[in-house]
A = this chain, B = another copy of it.
Amino acid sequence: MKLLYSQLKELLNGKLIKYGFSSIDSDIISEIFTESTFDGVFSHGINRFPLFIDFVKKTIVKISEKPSLVNAFGAFEQWNGNLGPGILNALHASNRAVELAMENGIGLVGLQNTNHWMRAGTYGRKVAEKGFMLIGWTNTIPNMPAWGGEISNIGNNPFVFAIPHKNGPIVLDMAMSQFAYGKLEWMTRMGKDLSDFGGYNSKGELTKNPAEILESQRILPTGLWKGSAMAIVLDLAAAILSGGKTSKQIGEKDIETSLSQVFIAINIEKFFSEEARETLINETLEFIQFNNAEVGYPGKRVMKNRMENLKNGIDIPENLIQKINSL
């Protein structure tokens, strides 16, 4: 079924209101789910909405809680998300990091005790649209075996790095698995294979079949030992910088909640004019795509998807629409 941006947003907004969100909060949250979907990231957009509502119903996500300040020293603050909605907490924390960077050149907010932020790229994009760089990450429940292991003992801990750019920000948004679990679920729903090995089947062989990987729960770290190592360091740093929980501690509850996140915003306009920045970025992007327009850079596909989908509306599978209607 083809939906326009406003139609999808209204559908989700109505459900949020039904489950008790204020009109301000439901407006923001429905906007972000819709944006991610229109950016082509279904896995962290509409496909995850039913699970979000499920967490609200179970009060794992506490819809009226607001973030509160825990510690502050110069350009570094720790906030408690108080188990409020992950999107609202992450928006608050990334905005606060920008305020700190305005005053100090750079600002860091560690956010403890929050819920799933949905798509990492959302916060990178919003901060970059204000003219700041963002480096951020979250930990997750243990959902990936460390390199060389067989049991899920580390998170795939999505990482975001965003740089302002006029034609749409440069946004690296990557989980530490070769494919995000949301992607595996989406590809399974679509009945498609992955483009490359994404994990092991239950016999311990590498496979491109997303359903087999979901069954074995043995997802492959991106870059093999490299993604595994980066996941470990991101998790420890998230827990230390936020004063929150590690993946291991989150896993003790068996529900993905009370996550730790980090937001580092950098004030680049102080030393670097927008014009100089644009020249430098355009020159590099042209160089990378020289002779081969198919070569990608972070944020390229998302902007293309957004443009096309805003113009034409977006196809949502019938069963997913039904699922959301029945919430």
Contact = CB atoms under 8 A, between A and B. Distances in A.
Contacts of A135: 135, 264
Given A147-B296, A271-B78, A284 B73 contact: no
A149 interface: yes
A120 to B, nearest CB: 13
A172 B230 contact: yes
B292 A149 contact: yes
B104 A229 contact: no
Given A243-B271, A288-B153, A292-B149, A266 B233 contact: no
A90 interface: no
Interface centre among A74, A248, A294, by most B CB within 10 Å? Answer: A74
Nearest to A78: B271
A313 interface: no
Contact of A75 (B74, B271, B294): B74
B233 A296 contact: no
Interface string A63-103: 00000000101111010000000000000000000000001
Interface string A209-221: 0000000000000
A75 B105 contact: yes
Given A76-B104, A108-B266, A266-B108, A295 B148 contact: yes
Interface centre among A135, A161, A226, by most B CB within 10 Å? Answer: A226
A240 interface: yes
A241 B226 contact: no
Interface residues on A, range: 35 or more
Given A148-B294, A223-B227, A163 B106 contact: no
A288 B154 contact: yes
B298 A233 contact: yes
B174 A297 contact: no
A228 B289 CA distance: 13
Contacts of A239: 280
Interface in A232-278: 232-237, 239-241, 243, 246-249, 264, 266-268, 270-272, 277
Interface of A: 71, 73-76, 78, 103-108, 133, 135, 146-151, 153-154, 161, 163, 170, 172, 174, 178, 196, 222-230, 232-237, 239-241, 243, 246-249, 264, 266-268, 270-272, 277, 280-281, 283-284, 287-288, 290-292, 294-298
Given A150-B292, A153-B295, 9 more contacts: A76-B105, A106-B108, A148-B292, A148-B296, A161-B237, A163-B237, A174-B223, A178-B223, A249-B283
